[in-house]
Amino acid sequence: MEKETRDPVGAGARPLRRDAELNRRRIMQAAREVFAVRGLQATLNDVAHHAGLGVGTVYRKFPDKETLAVAVFTGELDEIAEMARAALAEGDAFVALAGFLEGALERAAHNRGLRELMRLGEFGGEGFARARREIAGHCESLVDSAHVQGALRDGVTAADIAPIAAMIDAVLALPESGSAALWRRYLAIILDGLRARPQGQSPLPVPAPGGGA
């Protein structure tokens, strides 16, 4: 009869890997919540406390705040890129573009860290740049489709989308004036200005940022 062999290292490896992955998920979720409320000045200590973990555990997974922020906000931008991609399936391109802008700005309204990141461009990384390219590409397709359908005023280009988002970000940065959803009022005004009119509109006075036609 063969003697039973044991592999204590292998037997313990799976639970350890499982625990490590669970800790990583806890850290990521905690970081999303902490950055959303406190912005980019939040520390790894803040994240560790919110996750209910020792700060050493966080540092073993993410050696500095930038590494953690890139991981968190790349995921956020991937989700926004998916929203833009899904909008392409809408039949009415103007409605799809407006819905995407409202949905993306809704996320930003509840995420201080995301607003600071987009405003300051403090962190980078290939995944982050890829997600931004995807969002820009989907927005360009939405703008082109809205023009083809005759729903978007002449002269508006995909290069206008980022400055529009920046205008709403400025509203979000204002002191509270009675309504946390005040930004929706100004988005509605902007969207009304983007819509094509049967009677025609005055041409836009200057080209879009970046030389867009």
In this prediction, residue 180 carries a pLDDT of 67
- Tell me: pLDDT of 212 over 70: no
Residue whose pair of structure tokens reads 């970046």 in the numeric block: 210
Non-local (6+) Cβ contacts of 163 within 8 A are 209
66-83 per-position pLDDT tens digit: 999 999 999 999 999 999
* Predicted confidence band of residue 203 (pLDDT cuts 50, 70, 90): confident
Strand partners, 195: 152
In this prediction, residue 144 carries a pLDDT of 97
Instruction: Give the pLDDT mean for 108-120.
Output: 88
**How many angstroms separate the CA atoms of 55 and 45, rounded?**
6
Among the residue ranges 96-100, 117-121, 140-144, the one predicted with the least confidence is 117-121
In this prediction, residue 14 carries a pLDDT of 60
Smallest Cα–Cα separation from 118: which of 174, 150, 172, 73?
73
- Tell me: pLDDT of 137 over 80: yes
**More confident of the two residues 137 and 124:** 137
In this prediction, residue 5 carries a pLDDT of 45
84-110 per-position pLDDT tens digit: 999 999 999 999 999 999 999 999 999
Tokens of 144: 């082109």
Percent of the chain scored above 90 by pLDDT? Answer: 66
Instruction: Give the pLDDT mean for 186-207.
Output: 88
**More confident of the two residues 177 and 208:** 208
Give, in degrees to the nearest 5, the angle at Cα 72 between 69 and 75: 140
* Predicted confidence band of residue 3 (pLDDT cuts 50, 70, 90): very low
Mean pLDDT computed over every residue of the chain = 87
* Sign of CA pseudo-dihedral 46, 50, 55, 57: negative
